[in-house]
Amino acid sequence: MSLEKIQILEAEITNYAITDKATLENFRLAYLKREIPALMGEIKNIAPELKKEYGQAVNALKGLAEEKFFSTQDALENVSEAGKTHTIDFTLPTIPHELGTLHPITLVKNRVVQIYERLGFTQADGPEIENDWHNFTALNFPPDHPAREMQDTFFLEKDPDIALRTHTSSVQVRYMQNHKPPMRAIMLGRVYRNEAISARAHCFFHQVEGLYIDEKVSMLDLKQTLYHFAKEMFGEGTTVRFRPSFFPFTEPSAELDISCGMHNPKGCSLCGGSQNICKGTGWVEIGGCGMVDPAVLENCGIDSEKYTGFAFGMGIERITMLKYQIKDLRLFSENDVRFLRQFV
């Protein structure tokens, strides 16, 4: 009886007339959702010797119904699409072709590279995940040196010898190891320090460091290089000052300050409101500098009796804040398009 029912349904499916989506849905409900599932449920009542033949017949019937359903469905869709007419309204305004803007950090980095390339400096790069030797030891930071406390470092928990670099000075070490004097290069990149985030500090920021090694390089060469940079970046009237400082990898060492243009605390463009970037002094520190310590030269395989050199490092964010009169360091990493669209 069940095999006869299968033959009857096969004839019905073959001859079923489908003319539109409504009759197609009726076909699906009648056969794919009702008749064929009912036949499948009957298999438990079929004699064991006939189950194989019965199962094959039901599967064949199901395949016939599915093939007719999907082929007819595709045919109806094609007819529907072919019947549509697509018109273009030429009176509508065009979509404006808007160009994006570069991030202010990128703009300043490009300008820094431009200035130093004109002085003969090439660019060098290195890894952001660095080992202890390149990040500290080669730069005159012995394991027990108190100067290590100057920088709060992100060490990897599983390997205390590996850390996120705290300065791009590690790139200077790699550069000195792989090049012979004379050498003149700048290193730009992101660095990381475990510091509280505020208007003046962040756990990551960008640095540019410079290195010049040759015979008879002096502190005067360093000062003139940085004076030139300040005037090119901020204008001819820029005031710069050097303050004596200490860094393990340079001797003598100094910190470089740029005037923020403050004539009085109320008139300082960077000190208005609650954010006091220059702390009311009228000066903003943008980096450190000095003559490369002879021990660092020797660590990198350079004869300190023959060669001398200077090195400097500056914060790109600080330079950007001065150049564009930005009061809060956190704005650079918040991805607020209202802020970013201001820079061209």
The answer to whether residue 8 sits within a structural domain is yes
Q: Given a cut of 50, is residue 296 above it in pLDDT? A: yes
What tokens appear for 119 in the block? 């002085």
* pLDDT above 70 coverage of the chain, percent: 89
- The contacts of residue 193 (CB under 8 Å, 6+ apart) are 151, 152, 153, 154, 166, 203, 204, 205
* 115 lies in the same domain as 65: no
In a domain, 271, yes or no: yes
92/259 Cα distance (integer angstroms): 53
pLDDT of residue 338 exceeding 90, the answer is: no
**What is the model's pLDDT at position 321?**
86
**What pLDDT is attached to residue 195?**
81
Q: Is residue 256 part of a domain?
A: yes
Residues 69, 195 within the same domain: no
Which of 83, 112, 127 is the endpoint of a domain?
A: 83
Q: Is residue 92 part of a domain?
A: no
242 and 304 share one domain:
yes
Write b or e for each residue in 226-240: b if 16 or more Cβ atoms lie within 10 A of its Cβ, otherwise e.
Answer: beebbebbbeeebeb
Q: Which residue has the higher pLDDT, 80 or 286?
A: 286
Stretch 73-83: mean pLDDT, rounded?
Answer: 73
Residue 227 predicted with pLDDT over 70: yes
For all residues of the chain together, what is the average pLDDT? Answer: 84
Q: Terminus-to-terminus CA distance in the chain, angstroms?
A: 83
Within-domain flag for 93:
no
Residue 136 falls inside a structural domain:
yes
- Look up the CATH number of the domain holding residue 158: 3.30.930.10
Q: How confident is the model at residue 262 (pLDDT cuts 50, 70, 90)?
A: very low
Q: Are residues 177 and 321 in the same domain?
A: yes
48 and 144 both lie in a single domain:
no
Q: Determine which helix (DSSP H) or strand (DSSP E) holds 198, and give its type and residue range.
A: none
My answer on whether 136 and 10 are in the same domain is no
What is the reported pLDDT for 148?
57
Q: Which domain does 221 fall in, by range?
A: 104-340
- Number of structural domains the chain divides into: 2
**104/340 Cα distance (integer angstroms):** 7
Q: Please indicate, yes or no, if residue 97 is contained in any of the structural domains.
A: no
Range scoring the smallest mean pLDDT among 56-60, 122-126, 144-148, 330-334: 144-148
Do 253 and 175 share a domain, yes or no? yes
If asked whether residues 222 and 330 sit together in one domain, one would say: yes
Residue 83 has pLDDT above 80, yes or no: no
Does the structure show a pLDDT above 50 at 275? no
Angle between helix 316-324 and helix 104-118 axes, rounded to 10 deg: 100
Task: Indicate if 121 and 189 belong to the same structural domain.
Answer: yes
Q: Which residue has the tokens 């002085």?
A: 119
Q: Are 61 and 162 contained in the same domain?
A: no
